[in-house]
Amino acid sequence: MSETSPIERALVTGGAGFLGRALVAALRARGVTTRVLDLRPHRDAPSVVGDVADPEAVARAVEGVDTVFHTAARIDWSLNKTAQLERAHVEGTATVVRACEAAGVARLVHTSSVDVMSGGGPYDGGDESLPLPTRHYDDYSRTKAIAEGLVLAADRPGGLRACALRVANIWGPGDPILVPRFVDMARRGPLVGLGDGAARYGFVYLDNAVDAHLRAADALAADARGDGPGAGGEAFFVSDDPPINFFEFFSPMLAALGLRSRWWWMPAWPLRPIAIAWETANRWNLTGDTPPALTRFTLDAVSQPFWFRADKARRVLGWAPVVPPDLALATTVAWARAELLPAR
């Protein structure tokens, strides 16, 4: 974010989450008065504890802010949580949009996901010109796609300026999902990768994802002034370079931690019927609250090309990764060594 950034008072929905916490810290470090809306309070920032689908809570949260970063999401690829995912993403995003319009908020930056492309592909360097799939594999991807559409449709010259960032898988210190999962896998036994190791996948380091959000807000402000790059009403893929195989991405990290880092490969196609069976069992509540361990989306995403170019974000937002890969790896390894290795 530039020194002349117009952001003075910001709201971060989902500000107690992985991305949200880092975004709150970056805003506060720049002197931005920052508020959080989350189901749990943020330890360092004023918080409205509530649900993004609760109009009263959202109205209180957006009061007096000029910029909203809507990062709140329910990370769940279950197939029996349709109502919960629609409330979190569709109803929640609609509530945020309405509250922004009613309160005269100037800018709304929405955290979308590359998962909105699930059900299509393979994608070997796709871009924003590609249409969204007509059908998605799961409710998470489907509802995130609907939420993105609600935000983009809300963009109005002379009113609320809004855009969406389709972030790749975010990783880094504090990662609650990917890094702990692979550390645990490397401890338990041989590492088995799906496919032949050739398919490439997109990742984005936490600080780089945060910087993209800040630049998006600046670009929306410039659009409102009439001298902007045209970010309003647009979606942007945000992904570091270069893309890499999903499994091989973790090998340097695991090796640095002194864990197994060699992959044994198996073809993905025999597992597709198993993924479908697991999805079916989950959809019919035969697995309870446990999400399916394997789905068609995860199977396709890790065994086929699934990455998208960030050229548009570079061109329009002026974004580029601010943390180089070597530093990102070293920082994450140090965190994992301190936080993950002692716990078995």
Q: Please report, in tens digits, the pLDDT of each residue of the chain (344 residues total).
A: 444 578 999 999 999 999 999 999 999 999 999 999 999 999 999 999 999 999 999 999 999 999 999 999 999 988 899 999 999 999 999 999 999 999 999 999 999 999 999 988 899 999 999 999 999 999 999 999 999 999 999 999 999 999 999 999 999 999 999 999 999 999 998 999 999 999 999 999 999 999 999 999 999 999 999 999 999 999 999 999 999 999 999 999 999 999 999 999 999 999 999 999 988 888 888 877 788 888 998 999 999 999 999 999 999 999 999 999 999 999 999 999 999 997 55
Contact of 41 with 47, CB cutoff 8 Å? yes
Task: Report the SS3 class of residue 38.
Answer: strand
Tokens 């449709």 locate to 153
Report DSSP letters for 233-256, one per residue.
Answer: T-EEEE--SS-B-TTGGGHHHHHH
Torsion of CA 215, 217, 219, 223, to 10 degrees: 180
Contact of 141 with 121, CB cutoff 8 Å? no
pLDDT for the residue 2: 44
Residue 59 CA to residue 169 CA, distance in Å, equals 30
pLDDT for the residue 224: 94
Q: Angle CA(265)–CA(270)–CA(275) in degrees, nearest 5?
A: 105
pLDDT for the residue 343: 58
Whether 167 maps to a domain, the answer reads yes
pLDDT for the residue 141: 96
Whether 95 maps to a domain, the answer reads yes
| CATH classification at residue 17 | 3.40.50.720
Whether 26 maps to a domain, the answer reads yes
Tokens 């979308």 locate to 112
Task: Report the SS3 class of residue 309.
Answer: coil
Whether 339 maps to a domain, the answer reads no
pLDDT for the residue 310: 98
pLDDT for the residue 189: 87
Strand-pair category, 107-113 with 263-266? unpaired
Q: Angle CA(319)–CA(320)–CA(323) in degrees, nearest 5?
A: 130
Whether 328 maps to a domain, the answer reads no
Contact of 141 with 115, CB cutoff 8 Å? yes
Residue 164 CA to residue 326 CA, distance in Å, equals 28
Residue-range definition of the domain harbouring residue 94: 9-173+202-242+307-323
pLDDT for the residue 283: 86
Give the chain's domain count: 1
pLDDT for the residue 312: 98
Whether 277 maps to a domain, the answer reads no
| Cα 335 versus chain centre, distance | 21
pLDDT for the residue 1: 44
- The residues annotated as belonging to the active site are 140
Tokens (6 digits) for 231: 């970010």
Whether 62 maps to a domain, the answer reads yes
Whether 83 maps to a domain, the answer reads yes
pLDDT for the residue 342: 79
